[in-house]
Amino acid sequence: MKDKNSFFQSLKDELPYLKPAQHRVAKYISEFPRLVINLTIKELAKETNTAPSTIVDFCKKLGFNGFRSLKINIAQELELIESMRLDFDKVSNTSRNLVQYISENLNHTLPLIPSESIKKACKLILHSKIIDIMAFGFDSIAGRDLFMKVKFLGFQANYFENAFMQSVSAAQMTEESCAIAISSSHSSSDLVDSMNYASNAGAKIISIAPPNSKILSKGNIQIPTYSKTKVIPEGGILTRYIQLLVVDSLFLKLLEMGKERFLDTYIKFEDLINYKRKGDKGVV
């Protein structure tokens, strides 16, 4: 068995499918990761009221060869794992220094976003007749932003926050379509379902998601969104900024690659905006 690169991502992927005893192990590791890296397998089994064999099964379930390799990965991701529980001291500190927190993390993250993947994604979008944008929950902010930007450029695009309608739309895609899946999660069953329907219909998929996540791996073109820490377990505080920067990167690259195509589109859009402003019909 080949070890996965990230305990954090693997746990997020597999957490819904763990057995009760394995879930106790996961909960203990999430609460006390710094203690776990110094425990033996027998000691962890005792602390979680499980058997050593359960620990071994837990390691395999997450894609690791054994307890030692699991502990190595935990040690490498202590800050991420600790973010899986709500830390009010961290929340307060981040609240006081939010701009600095966002700036520091974006400076770390942006150089890791592969420019070649952005370019490949834009090339696929430019050759697609229909674009389906898939994003739910907190990720819908980036999904809606991308939808508006591609519509502004004149693309035929679909975007549904309803998971059922997204699956219906995905199932009707063709080889001339592309799907763009945006997620800060590691395994969203609704999103995975939509991606599977799109893939089965012959569409290519651009995935914008955490590295080593199930959702990222399903993309034909993968744009990983790195985050070395989180403020709260779920809530999209940092990931939202990262996603929006990826969306803007795609938008600007599309303009650059299709400047002749989009010049007329932009003029029409500008005329529409000016007309709406004259009539004060709600466009600011």
Tens digits of pLDDT across the chain (284 residues): 444 567 877 887 788 889 999 999 999 998 899 999 999 999 999 999 999 999 999 999 999 999 999 999 999 888 777 766 666 666 677 677 778 877 877 887 788 888 999 999 999 999 999 999 999 988 999 999 999 999 989 999 999 989 999 999 999 999 999 999 999 876 678 899 999 999 999 999 999 998 878 899 999 999 998 765 555 555 567 788 889 999 999 999 999 999 888 888 888 888 888 888 776 655 54
Q: Are residues 76 and 115 in the same domain?
A: no
Q: Are residues 117 and 74 in the same domain?
A: no
Q: Are residues 125 and 44 in the same domain?
A: no
What pLDDT was estimated at residue 259?
86
**98 inside domain:** no
* Pairwise CA distance, residues 169 & 167, whole Å: 5
Q: Which residues contact 180 (CB under 8 A, 6 or more apart)?
A: 121, 125, 131, 132, 133, 134, 146, 205, 206, 208
Q: Are residues 25 and 127 in the same domain?
A: no
Q: Are residues 63 and 117 in the same domain?
A: no
Residue 128, judged by CB atoms within 10 A of its CB (0-12, 13-18, 19+), counts as: buried
Q: Are residues 127 and 78 in the same domain?
A: no
**99 inside domain:** no
Q: Where would I find the beta strands (DSSP E) of the chain?
A: 130-134, 156-159, 177-182, 204-209, 221-224
Q: Are residues 177 and 72 in the same domain?
A: no
pLDDT tens digits, one per residue of 177-208: 999 999 987 667 889 999 999 999 999 999 99
Q: Are residues 116 and 188 in the same domain?
A: yes
Structural domain that includes position 219: 108-273
Number of folded domains in the chain? Answer: 2
**97 inside domain:** no
Last residue of a domain, one of 47, 82, 117: 82
The reported pTM is 0.72
* Pairwise CA distance, residues 178 & 203, whole Å: 5
**89 inside domain:** no
Nearest to 76 by CA among 36, 113, 39: 36
Cα separation of the two ends of the chain: 56
Q: Are residues 264 and 144 in the same domain?
A: yes
Q: What is the CATH number of the domain that holds 218?
A: 3.40.50.10490
Nearest to 182 by CA among 219, 154, 128: 219
How many residues belong to the chain?
284
What pLDDT was estimated at residue 85?
66
